[in-house]
Structure 1
Amino acid sequence: MSGVSGNDQCRFCHTAVESVGHLVSASQTLLADGHYTACHNKICKYIHWKICKEYKIEVKDKVWDHEPESVTSNRGIIIFYDKIILTGRYIEGGAIRPDIVIWNKEETTAKIIDVTLPTDFGLNRAERQKITKYQELKNNLKNTWELKEIGIISVVVGQQDL
């Protein structure tokens, strides 16, 4: 036998047609097993590693050896990684734990960074949702930390990027 099957159902969840898009971001079985979360976390870890290098914060030479701490800092830069950010005000929907927040205390600026891995069909929508999701946190941080500027960066990784 050649191992080829006439069945087009997903070999993991058996509930949908197996396709690259389904396997990369829609299989409930792979979701339950943590495959998507693991991919998301690897991307976040890489971004954190690159940010630390940019701000001359000591990190391991190889990204695969890097283990982000919840708070990393260096001369006026504070990087929060997967940490709840409290502002003293209630935020609708509990959007208080972005993947990464960079606070430049010297320049009084900040960046909220959040990663998402949607299907190809939802790339633009996923970007808008992340920006909308963290808008209230952005406004509250601007006041609480007395920032001149704060931005939201939505990192959208589609299946063609993987």
Structure 2
Amino acid sequence: MKNETINHISSECPAFAQNQCKNRHASVAKTLHWNLCKKHQLTCSIKWYKYQPERVIVNDQSKLFRDYGIRKDRVIRANRPDVTLIEKIKKKVSLIDVTVPWESRVEVKEREKMD
């Protein structure tokens, strides 16, 4: 049996952490999505805590995708970033993948996301 530390309970314990980690991840991704909508003048709710992100939001300058598969010419294991932002005028694409690890696992998660 593992020690019942805060780290173990909130991030590692299979009986508890799986659901809590998914909820934290979804909350962070939703808040990030809302902030990007505001920044790029895309349609969204006035209050962040009432926001329910749509899969695709578009205006003349930007496109914002949530959990949307990326087409590619080769097999990529993880092809659904949490948020994809296309800035049409700048011709720039940002792929954003969220993780909410305990501080002792930040480097591990960074490596996982980059791979």
2:99 equivalent to 1:116:
yes
| TM-score with structure 2 setting the length | 0.90
Q: Alignment partner of 1:52: what SS?
A: helix
Identity across aligned pairs (percent)? Answer: 26
TM superposition shift of 1:73: 1.1
| TM-score with structure 1 setting the length | 0.66
Q: How far apart, CA to CA, are the structure 2 residues paired with 1:129 and 1:36?
A: 16
Give the counterpart letter for 1:22 in structure 2: H
Q: How far apart, CA to CA, are the structure 2 residues paired with 1:96 and 1:90?
A: 11
Q: Alignment partner of 1:116: what SS?
A: coil
Aligned with residue 59 of structure 2, among 35, 51, 74? 74
For structure 2, the residue ranges without an aligned partner over 5 or more in a row are none
TM superposition shift of 1:114: 0.9
Stretches of 4+ aligned residues off by more than 2 angstroms: none
| Alpha-carbon contact 2:33-2:83 (below 8 Å) kept | yes
| Alpha-carbon contact 1:82-1:100 (below 8 Å) kept | yes
Tell me which residue corresponds to 1:91: 75
| Alpha-carbon contact 1:26-1:119 (below 8 Å) kept | no
For structure 1, the residue ranges without an aligned partner over 5 or more in a row are 1-14, 133-162
The structure with more radius of gyration: 1
Q: Alignment partner of 2:97: what SS?
A: strand
Aligned length: 115
Give the counterpart letter for 2:52 in structure 1: E
